Amino acid sequence: MTINDVKHVKLVQWVNEIAALTTPDAIVLADGSAAQYDELVNECVEKGLCVRLNEEKKPHSVLFNSDPSDVARVEKRTFIAAKTKDEAGPTNNWIDPVELKKTLTGLYSGCMKGRTMYVIPFSMGPLGSPISKLGVEITDSPYVVINMMIMTRVGVKVLDLLGTDGYFVPCLHSVGKPLAAGETDGGKWPCAPMENKYIAQFPETREIWSFGSGYGGNALLGKKCLALRIASVLARDEGWLAEHMLILKVTNPEGKSRFVTAAFPSACGKTNLAMLIPTIEGWKVETVGDDIAWMKYGADGRLYAINPEAGFFGVAPGTSAKSNKNALIAASKNTIFTNVALTADKDVWWEGIGYDAPGPLTDWHGNEWIQDKSNKEQAPAAHPNSRFTAPANQCPCIAPEWEDPQGVPVSAILFGGRRPSTIPLVHMARNWNHGVFLGSIVGSEVTAATLDVKAGTIRRDPFAMLPFCGYNMGDYFKHWIEVGKAGDADKLPKIFYVNWFRKTAEGKWLWPGYGDNSRVLKWIFECCEGTAKTVDTPIGIMPTVDAIDRPADVSEEDMKELLKVDVDGWLKEVEDIRTNHYPKFGAHLPAELAEMLDTLEANLKAAKN
């Protein structure tokens, strides 16, 4: 099937307009077939863009390496081009949309010369789901095409759903480097200089234009760009939620199940939690999604969530049999690896995989690398933000409901981040608006998933949406409050704040995390059932010291510390929120959240006195 066979007039017209602008050598329609996927992979191998891995150890899998300047999301080159700067809000980069389109049109001119233009019709969410959205991405990167084939539902069935005039989000991408006659990409995917990288969202026209980067979040435009930045605008206008959240299913020993969503900043353990293997007997956790949740009210008045993705774009370093055995199994075949190290027998390796390097490696730069454990300054063999792209249906703990077009009913919503102190192991909001307040003040250590923010520092990342909200974040807070008002208070999910990352003053972990987080999920489950042991505190509803089953290596004193209300620490939080965080939003900050902050401060001062 070619683009000329497509019956959607506006789609064909748009493709022809972009082809005239970018001047590709050929146009190929992505049909979503296994044969086309294999053909594209073979082309990439033949051109030296990727390495085919060991068929016995990683069947039907490949490894790509990128240019060192193109390894993560680039927040300073990501723009929300709303009509006004105020509509984009204080947490987004803004350029006037007319000016930006003029700049980008100049960059796109002739940018696909020597390359093939691929047209990718895709569905975010199960085909035909009332919560799903359709998009079409134009790209000149075969890496993008094969990743999109794993991460979304691609192909002819999407065109069937579009029909002759169905709505789709247009997504335009180019690596930004035309090829001269006889020129090749030299073994790494190409990209433009940093000053010519643009990841642009146009909220009024629901368009995405990306130029100059081949990295996942910048180039797989169904992921962060559509599923969060544009979808958050659609959700605001249509009365639903598009969130940076995992979705998991928890089943107790009696066979009763509840579904939980959770929002953590990148590399804060979302995938690990989504694929958790419980350490408490009789409990079961299954995965619906590991990164994004779209939630709408169902006919019964409850919020229902879908995972709009079809695959996992997981961080490789730190993923091991201990931290996430299920992720390793999911990525054991039919997987695209990016910027990890290559072993002599063409398997993959990364720091934190759980075993030493099996001899000399080829690092992500393409150089020989020999592990030297005595050298604390040795550069890593795999980039800290290296990735695996694996089909979700390969995950051994995938929930049977993961592709239910109606979604799954949500009982609990978790917020959290990496905080070594102050924030307790878990506490529950008293009501929906209190939960919105907790989401609005989330803070976390910055990770390697972002190029241009120093790793290790703490920043506020409300709802884990700071880089992904497609409009003014103060109005986003208000939207959450309005969604709560639209529902029945008795049917709304309960909201929790968790922190697996507490440390002692000496830097010792207080909580083992990983599978033992199931012990916290059990208490959350019990809160939803109305059977949990709880105590009201100045910051919200907390477990009693004996409410959570303690792991063997957590002492009673440690548990008391994990569940302590650090009044002085929280008063410092209040001061930081009042002085540095909330003022950013000016008149857009909902009055309800300012009142919540006042109440928290009063509660803490009363407790101190």
Tell me: pLDDT of 344 over 90.
Answer: yes
- Distances in whole angstroms, Cα of residue 356 to Cα of each of 343, 373, 388, 457: 12, 9, 20, 29
Beta-bridge partners for 369: 361
pLDDT range class, residue 187, cuts 50, 70, 90: confident
DSSP strand pairing (198-202 vs 78-80): parallel
**456 has a pLDDT exceeding 70:** no
Q: Measuring CA to CA, which residue among 396, 389, 150, 399 is closest to residue 289?
A: 399
Residues annotated within the binding site are: 73, 215-217, 224, 244, 266-272, 291, 385-387, 418, 514-517
Residue 455 has pLDDT above 70, yes or no: no
pLDDT of 451 strictly over 50: no
Which of these is catalytic: 44, 111, 268, 527?
268
pLDDT digits (tens, 9 = 90+) for 4-21: 899 999 999 999 999 999
Q: Please choose, from the candidates 140, 225, 146, 137, the residue with its C-alpha nearest in 3D space to the C-alpha of residue 191.
A: 140
The binding site for GTP comprises 267-272, 387, 418, 514-517
Q: Residue 182's pLDDT band (boundaries 50, 70, 90)?
A: confident
The per-residue pLDDT for 454 is: 56
Domains of the chain (ranges, CATH numbers) = 3-50+66-236 (3.40.449.10), 242-311+399-608 (3.90.228.20), 312-394 (2.170.8.10)
Binding residues for substrate: 73, 215-217, 266, 385-387
Q: How many CB atoms lie within 10 A of CB 116?
A: 17
**Spatial CB neighbours of 568, under 8 Å, sequence gap ≥ 6:** 608
H/E stretch holding 442 reads none
Res 457: pLDDT: 64
**Range from 415-419, 425-429, 468-472 carrying the lowest mean pLDDT:** 415-419
Whether 347 and 58 have beta carbons less than 8 Å apart is answered as: yes
Q: What is the pLDDT of residue 325?
A: 96
pLDDT digits (tens, 9 = 90+) for 235-288: 999 999 999 999 999 999 999 999 999 999 876 888 899 999 999 999 999 999
- Among 105-109, 190-194, 267-271, 334-338, the minimum mean pLDDT is found in 267-271
Residue with the bigger pLDDT between 186 and 563: it is: 563
Tell whether the model's pLDDT for residue 204 goes beyond 90: yes
- Angle of CA points 537, 497, 423, to nearest 5°: 70
**Would residue 268 show up in a list of annotated catalytic residues for this protein?**
yes
List % helix, strand, coil for the chain (3-state, nearest 5). Answer: 30, 25, 45
HSE-CB for 486 with a 13 A CA cutoff: 19
**Contact indicator for 7, 156 with CB cutoff of 8 Å:** no
pLDDT band at 356, cuts 50/70/90?
A: very high
Contacts of 380 (CB under 8 A, 6+ apart): 317, 350, 351, 363
CB 296 within 8 A of CB 407: yes
pLDDT at 609: 82
Average pLDDT over residues 407-424: 96
Residue 449 has pLDDT above 70, yes or no: no
